[in-house]
């Protein structure tokens, strides 16, 4: 139940299939320690879980064509698999999330870290979400503004952290004249390779799937949680100093004072790419992805992550923050 393939035991475990079932359960469990489990694709378990694990199985996709031209509102159960939902939309020709193809995890976790890939983020099509407050077992709706989305960030990682369980997520997608996002270099060249001049959303989804498969390990084959660290944002002055020593350092502008640097480059430059300690390693095609080759423990992966953080800090004076949640 975790894509890193780590062995860990839960002291208690329950599945919930609807919001009503969840509300009933929360009223019964009262002050018990809880652990909310969705797709298990963004977490590293370093020990057994001494809590009641609630596994989200809230399913269902409902669509409503809006009066606004070419728009559809989709309301999706938080326990739906994200990629299956993306494929459902491609099949129906609903545009807006095709660049987010093949991201592991469930729909309900997507707003928590504002998932993003190839120039698109969840927030671009997000409308609102329903959640249940754990303490009161009451239902609340969070608008897009309430969610306070940022780069791999939202209110659910800050003020609302561990306080709510998301049950439904709503998106507004396009039904025609899709606003395609094909500017990301790798997508452009993948479409060119295939000789596609006027891409449809399905072509973009397929291009993204090809790119992801070529770079990122399949969790069904090699345990991993995608990007282990966030791409750090540093001061432009700091970047300029680094560029004197490393003229080839890649970067993405943020604003006048800040600039983002790919963590994968910092890790590769620090010599970790493709290295392995026992069954814990750094992927050979994408240094931002830590992998479990079989029987690594969560502790071993965590130790490797700390070794990387220490080395990157000493080489570049940059503190890498984890993107994956460590328990
Ligand atoms: N790079 C290296 N060596 C590496 C990996 C990357 O030098 O081993 C450098 C290259 O210069 C490359 C640049 O980093 O051009 C960016 O690499 P890539 O396009 O693979 O993207 P990323 O910044 O490493 C981010 C997301 C991914 C997302 C891709 C594509 C984060 C933390 N990660 O990775 O998201 O798929 O962009 O948009 O922002 C995830 O969050 O789990 C995830 C996989």
- Could you tell me the strand order of the sheet in which 49-56 lies? 10-16, 49-56, 34-37
Query: Which of helix, strand or coil describes residue 255?
Result: coil
Residues 6+ apart with CB under 8 A from 74: 61, 62, 63, 64, 89, 94, 170, 171, 172, 173
| Per-residue pLDDT reduced to its tens digit, 156-166 | 999 999 999 99
Catalytic annotation present for 227: yes
Dihedrals φ, ψ of 186, to 5°? -65, -35
Please report the pLDDT score of residue 243 as a whole number: 97
Check if the beta carbon of residue 15 is closer than 8 Å to that of residue 57: yes
Give, for 187, the enclosing helix (H) or strand (E). Answer: helix 185-193
Please report the pLDDT score of residue 90 as a whole number: 98
Percent of the chain with pLDDT over 70: 100
Rounded distance between C-alpha atoms, residue 255 and residue 238, angstroms:
14
Count the alpha carbons within 13 Å of 180 in the hemisphere toward its beta carbon. Answer: 20
Long-range contacts at 273-279 (CB < 8 A, ≥ 24 apart): 277/304
User: Residue 234 pLDDT > 90, yes or no?
Assistant: yes
Check if the beta carbon of residue 300 is closer than 8 Å to that of residue 204: no
Q: Which of 99, 100, 117, 205 to mutate to test the pocket of ligand 1 (most atoms within 8 A of CB)?
A: 117
User: Residue 120 pLDDT > 80, yes or no?
Assistant: yes
Distance of CA 281 to the CA centre of its chain: 20
For range 184-201, the mean pLDDT: 94
Q: Which of 150, 157, 288 to mutate to test the pocket of ligand 1 (most atoms within 8 A of CB)?
A: 288
Q: How many C-beta neighbours within 10 Å does residue 27 have?
A: 10
266: its two tokens: 């910092």
User: Residue 183 pLDDT > 90, yes or no?
Assistant: no
Please report the pLDDT score of residue 58 as a whole number: 98
Query: Which of helix, strand or coil describes residue 94?
Result: coil
**Residue range(s) occupied by CATH 3.90.78.10 in the chain:** 223-326
296: its two tokens: 């690594």
Number of H helices, E strands in the chain: 8, 19
Rounded distance between C-alpha atoms, residue 122 and residue 102, angstroms:
14
The residue whose CA is least distant from atom 37 of ligand 1 is 117
281: its two tokens: 């390693």
User: Residue 30 pLDDT > 80, yes or no?
Assistant: no
User: Residue 33 pLDDT > 90, yes or no?
Assistant: yes
- Could you tell me the strand order of the sheet in which 139-143 lies? 61-65, 71-77, 164-174, 126-133, 139-143
User: Residue 39 pLDDT > 80, yes or no?
Assistant: yes
User: How many residues would you count in the chain?
Assistant: 327
171: its two tokens: 């998106």
Please report the pLDDT score of residue 55 as a whole number: 98
For range 2-26, the mean pLDDT: 97
Give, for 52, the enclosing helix (H) or strand (E). Answer: strand 49-56
Catalytic annotation present for 101: no
Compute the distance from residue 92 Cα to the ligand 1 centre, in Å: 30
Dihedrals φ, ψ of 289, to 5°? -105, 120
- CB-defined site of ligand 1, < 6 Å: 117-118, 215, 226-227, 230-231, 250, 262, 264-265, 268, 273, 286-288, 323
Catalytic annotation present for 121: no
Compute the distance from residue 30 Cα to the ligand 1 centre, in Å: 42
**Residue range(s) occupied by CATH 3.30.465.10 in the chain:** 61-174
Q: Of 152, 205, 206, 297, which residue is the catalytic one?
A: 152
Q: Of 12, 21, 133, 323, which residue is the catalytic one?
A: 323
β-strand partners of 54 = 14, 36
Which of the four CATH numbers 3.40.50.1370, 3.40.1190.20, 3.90.78.10, 2.20.25.570 does domain 223-326 have? 3.90.78.10
Which of the four CATH numbers 3.30.465.10, 3.30.360.10, 1.25.40.80, 3.40.50.300 does domain 61-174 have? 3.30.465.10
């Amino acid at each position: 139940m975790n894509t890193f393939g780590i062995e860990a035991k839960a002291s208690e475990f329950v599945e919930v299939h609807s919001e009503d079932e969840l509300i009933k359960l929360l009223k019964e469990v009262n002050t018990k320690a809880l652990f909310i489990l969705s797709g298990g694709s963004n977490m590293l378990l370093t020990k057994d879980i001494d809590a009641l694990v609630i596994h989200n199985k809230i399913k269902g996709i409902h669509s409503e064509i809006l009066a606004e031209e070419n728009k559809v509102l989709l309301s999706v159960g938080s326990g739906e698999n994200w990629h299956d939902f993306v494929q459902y939309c491609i099949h129906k020709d609903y545009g807006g999330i095709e660049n987010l193809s093949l991201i592991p995890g469930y729909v309900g976790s997507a707003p928590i870290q504002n998932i993003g890939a190839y120039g698109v983020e969840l927030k671009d099509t997000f409308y609102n979400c329903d959640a249940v407050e754990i303490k009161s077992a009451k239902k609340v709706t969070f608008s897009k503004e309430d969610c306070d989305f940022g780069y791999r960030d939202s209110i659910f990682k800050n003020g609302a952290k561990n306080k709510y369980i998301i049950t439904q997520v709503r998106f507004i997608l396009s039904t025609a004249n899709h606003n395609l996002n094909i500017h990301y270099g790798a997508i452009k060249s993948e479409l060119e390779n295939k000789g596609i001049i006027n891409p449809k959303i399905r072509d973009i989804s397929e291009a993204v799937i090809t790119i992801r498969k070529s770079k990122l390990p399949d969790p069904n084959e090699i345990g991993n949680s995608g990007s282990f660290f966030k791409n750090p944002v540093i001061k432009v002055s700091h970047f300029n100093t680094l560029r004197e020593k490393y003229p080839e350092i890649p970067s993405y502008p943020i604003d006048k004072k800040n600039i983002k640097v790919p963590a994968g480059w910092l890790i590769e430059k620090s010599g970790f790419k493709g290295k392995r300690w026992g069954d814990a390693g750094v992927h050979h095609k994408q240094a931002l992805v830590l992998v479990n080759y079989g029987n690594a423990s969560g502790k071993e992966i965590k130790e490797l992550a700390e070794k990387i953080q220490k080395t990157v800090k000493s080489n570049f004076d940059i503190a890498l923050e984890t993107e994956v949640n460590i328990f």
